[in-house]
Structure 1
């Protein structure tokens, strides 16, 4: 089949075909053909597709046969066959020309097959599976000839260039290199990653081994000895899922779940270019064997980039870095969110196995990432003094972290035969409590991780915990539809159960310890009196309530729901005060410790920060400019104004250009005339901004309005710009003379003051503004010659002129 035999679209749709347009779900695997003419892609839409690498047009029809998502794909060395691996636990081999199956499905794995690769001689296919094995298949017979067993799941298995070795990445965070003939390890497992490695490849000459991990790092090893070649390469903000050496081995390309691609020098470890970003989450990449190109899987499509510059080649277009709001995101939705005591930083954890900390004033990329868990992080909490974080995970572990050291405070606590669903510190952080899916609650010693007490009573999955302000009581919510209150010292039930109509998702004590707030899958948030045991009132959402919390001052509380809203309620009456709208269901939300902000996270993974008083979105996707909040913006503006005030020579660097503004203004003031006035009059004089919003410089507004307003002495202040200066007078000088005049004035002030800043009084400034500076030459005319018209009638916006208006001013 020739490359011209292309499909106009994936399923016969009409219209102009788009490059790499056809898949209807995430593309996980990509592979260049040996001649570089084709690209094969594997998708969770259960198809393999073949593309013309130069046009991006689909060749033929999708390859269908797998019953589940396809995540691995590879060309044979001769380019005639394609192998694919799938969630249906099978490997299938296709003929590229006929697009038919060559062999019966290769069966033997018992779980998902994540990757497939041909040996350099084409005689074998190696597959890596969740069942903990790497299998070698004979490409002629389809028989499994070698099984390399591991204790944990595998993500990738890769052949060395000689075909005699296979490298694997394992869920125990280790990289292994096997001798195929002896089926034994070449050297001990390589331990450097803190999280599960996702990719491993050999360099083209077989001397280096590169591995990447969920821990956001890339490690380089000596492939002959197993010794580290360089310190881990860092830069990506989420797990690194794709690696590829260029054919000459001089460059290593990496792709990440943070949607970025980078290029590295494998010898020096230097980042050569990047990050460059695409629209979708990157999974795998593949290098062209014939051209300096790399194809990256991103979302339901693909992108080809130049390996030298990183620029996008196909589809054509320009790249732009994601906004700060887009960078405030996690993989899928967050499971837990907690604020630090400073009211500025908060931590989020969830399905990407990582714990990320953001600055609530700056947004953008996380400032810290902890990636030690090997499963979804189910809950996090921060100690009252902000020195420690405790986290729980579906990997059946609890971890304690030192914030200052950014490292685990102790070995992980392993919880056997149960999943930890929630964790919470006591107020003094001497203990922490964990909730489990078997209905039990455990109390632990923070110093040594020893188990102090087990509390039993719930009949189902415990979802949430909250410690009373005095530290003596514990409230818990469960999927047995109840809220219960326990004595922390004895573990006895002292209040409740308070009954909901469905699962209780979240609980929180009021700051005065008199009430417990609970949110439920029944769509309600309820306030319970711990004194009377009665329900005080309830408020409603249109769907599940996932999270509830009191504000630090106890005057309001929030509830976050599947109805895409965070609602703020009056704590004593239940009156709805404000509703914060989101694009999808809200899984977590929390007040900052200073009570000024709310952070929220949605099922799509986006994190947002809101102002409590105004309800304004400060940071996150959809915020104005995805920039700092009001306080930060004000701080920046103050800094900019300060820089402008002290940078006296910045005015002299501006170009001498004019822009014609309507009818020319004719100077009718008598020659030699001066406008005089008091300081009060000067303060009400017409003012003009240092720079216009459209970026055309300080004089556009001046020339546009000087004729109509200057003569009348009216006062107007440009909106949105507080860095203004009052007009003194106008005079016509050459550009060179203008700069010389300004330089002379500034030098005279420095000599007088003994420093480079302006400190003169208003009277001194008036003298400077109306007198000729020392050393001024005769050619500096104070006023234009009689009858001169400015701006010139024929001046255009792009014309450069050899004269400029010199406007002495005092920056305020």
Structure 2
């Protein structure tokens, strides 16, 4: 350091004239300067890189990778700057993917929120996904926008060229399957908890009510009896079953003579809301917020067994061949099979990192069964059965509550933002039994 009129002058552009420790303290490159934002004038550290030594590497490199991290002139282990200055051998680790110039890195399998909003400034260098799916078994065709709240039902009635979607925004929207255009909106005056179709009939679960209308005859009926929101509907053995908020399962049978649905039974046993129903093997299976699954005889409507292996809400049930599959917020999919005495027992448990919301089954182009599992991290996993080998993932703005298959390899997802998305498999698919 020299003095000039009482002012201190630091020699920061060249080596110090002294080789003692005091001189060496000045031979460190300013990391603020490296980042282009040093505002010290004068600065105690160098505003240029250190000269190369005999073997072609800088003096700093001899100190080891990251040796200066805890010192004033070292590189901090944070931000893009540290990543961009990693040695080449670190940048190209086996199994990494993605690229940014000479760098390669593994993408985090999570949707970039900034990209969804159209303002991610990292582009291809972003560590998060800028795509709506992974894997090569399906691709996004088009979004169907219009619903303002979570989509709770998607259905294609038999003999119709229209797609019907129901939402908690109290509307059913009708879409033309050829053009994808909205052709009608029906306001039902209440949040829609579920929606299915059977033949020409469409059934909609509302609060204290089930609406039924026939798209061929335009017959519009109201089925009274539920107490609270109707969360699930299923048809079996000429009966319509409804899972209700109070924990009951109501059943109606259509009377051709009177041209209306008449109450047939009330199945009681669950202590909390029944949120999922499925029919298979001459049984009705019900999943509830009380964490249990009940097995009912489709003929006698008596409870045959109560399954209590889940430790959180049973959100979805699916019958596949001789198995029952159940999905829960406890982050598991359980596969059940009948023992010699006819009771169901868990034969396999698949674990996820997040709670599960919806199961849906279909077949791929080789007639192999594929299971779609919607999780509450806004993703849907596609698995081969019975191996549970992952085929790919679908990402959405919010959690997917509804999945439905269409003709020609199409299928549909409806999420919590109100968006319905049309997807296409790589080849034609059919619904799993």
Instruction: Please classify the TM superposition score into its range, dividing by the shorter chain length.
Output: 0.5 to 0.7
Q: Which residue is 1:377 aligned to?
A: 192
How far off its partner does 1:417 sit?
3.8
Distance in 2 separating the partners of 1:495 and 1:611: 39
- 2:268 aligned with 1:453: no
Q: Which runs of 5+ in 1 are unaligned?
A: 1-323, 616-812
Q: Is the 8 A contact 2:157 2:201 kept in 1?
A: no
Distance in 2 separating the partners of 1:358 and 1:525: 33
Distance in 1 separating the partners of 2:356 and 2:310: 12
Q: Is the 8 A contact 2:157 2:202 kept in 1?
A: no
Secondary structure of 1:377 counterpart: coil
Distance in 2 separating the partners of 1:377 and 1:507: 20
Distance in 2 separating the partners of 1:360 and 1:560: 24
How far off its partner does 1:572 sit?
1.2
203, 210, 215: which one aligns with 1:390: 203
Q: Which residue is 2:33 aligned to?
A: none
What's the CA shift string for 1:217-261, capped at 9, x where partnerless?
A: xxxxxxxxxxxxxxxxxxxxxxxxxxxxxxxxxxxxxxxxxxxxx
Q: Which residue is 1:565 aligned to?
A: 379
When residues 534 and 346 of structure 1 are mapped into structure 2, their CA distance, relative to the original with a 3 A threshold, is farther
Q: Which residue is 1:466 aligned to?
A: 278
371, 390, 398: which one aligns with 1:584: 398
When residues 595 and 557 of structure 1 are mapped into structure 2, their CA distance, relative to the original with a 3 A threshold, is farther
How far off its partner does 1:397 sit?
1.0
Q: Is the 8 A contact 1:370 1:406 kept in 2?
A: no
How far off its partner does 1:345 sit?
4.3
When residues 483 and 379 of structure 1 are mapped into structure 2, their CA distance, relative to the original with a 3 A threshold, is same
Distance in 2 separating the partners of 1:520 and 1:403: 34
471, 488, 506: which one aligns with 2:298: 488
How far off its partner does 1:356 sit?
2.1
- Number of residues of Structure 1 aligned to a counterpart in Structure 2: 278
499, 518, 529: which one aligns with 2:326: 518
Q: Is the 8 A contact 1:551 1:595 kept in 2?
A: no
Matches within 5 A, 1:570-719: 570-592=384-406, 594=407, 596-613=409-426
Q: Which residue is 1:422 aligned to?
A: 232
When residues 343 and 495 of structure 1 are mapped into structure 2, their CA distance, relative to the original with a 3 A threshold, is farther
Distance in 2 separating the partners of 1:340 and 1:498: 35
When residues 595 and 549 of structure 1 are mapped into structure 2, their CA distance, relative to the original with a 3 A threshold, is farther
Matches within 5 A, 1:545-560: 545-551=356-362, 555-560=369-374
When residues 382 and 451 of structure 1 are mapped into structure 2, their CA distance, relative to the original with a 3 A threshold, is same
When residues 539 and 400 of structure 1 are mapped into structure 2, their CA distance, relative to the original with a 3 A threshold, is same
Q: Which residue is 1:329 aligned to?
A: 146
Distance in 2 separating the partners of 1:565 and 1:360: 25
- 2:337 aligned with 1:504: no
When residues 590 and 544 of structure 1 are mapped into structure 2, their CA distance, relative to the original with a 3 A threshold, is farther
Secondary structure of 2:246 counterpart: coil
How far off its partner does 1:449 sit?
2.0
Structure-1-length-normalised TM-score: 0.32
Distance in 2 separating the partners of 1:344 and 1:596: 15
Q: Is the 8 A contact 1:466 1:507 kept in 2?
A: yes
Matches within 5 A, 1:307-386: 325=142, 327-341=144-158, 345-365=162-182, 367-371=183-187, 373-383=188-198, 386=199
Matches within 5 A, 1:150-229: none
When residues 437 and 530 of structure 1 are mapped into structure 2, their CA distance, relative to the original with a 3 A threshold, is farther
When residues 416 and 600 of structure 1 are mapped into structure 2, their CA distance, relative to the original with a 3 A threshold, is closer
Q: Which residue is 1:169 aligned to?
A: none
Distance in 1 separating the partners of 2:371 and 2:169: 29
249, 254, 258: which one aligns with 1:441: 249
Q: Is the 8 A contact 2:144 2:422 kept in 1?
A: no
Q: Is the 8 A contact 1:546 1:588 kept in 2?
A: no
What's the CA shift string for 1:122-149, capped at 9, x where partnerless?
A: xxxxxxxxxxxxxxxxxxxxxxxxxxxx
Q: Which residue is 2:66 aligned to?
A: none
Secondary structure of 2:344 counterpart: coil
What's the CA shift string for 1:161-181, capped at 9, x where partnerless?
A: xxxxxxxxxxxxxxxxxxxxx
Determine which structure has greater relative contact order: mean sequence separation of CA pairs < 8 Å that are 6+ residues apart, divided by chain length: 2
Secondary structure of 1:551 counterpart: strand
How far off its partner does 1:369 sit?
3.3
State the Cα RMSD in Å: 2.6
Secondary structure of 1:446 counterpart: strand
Q: Is the 8 A contact 1:560 1:567 kept in 2?
A: yes
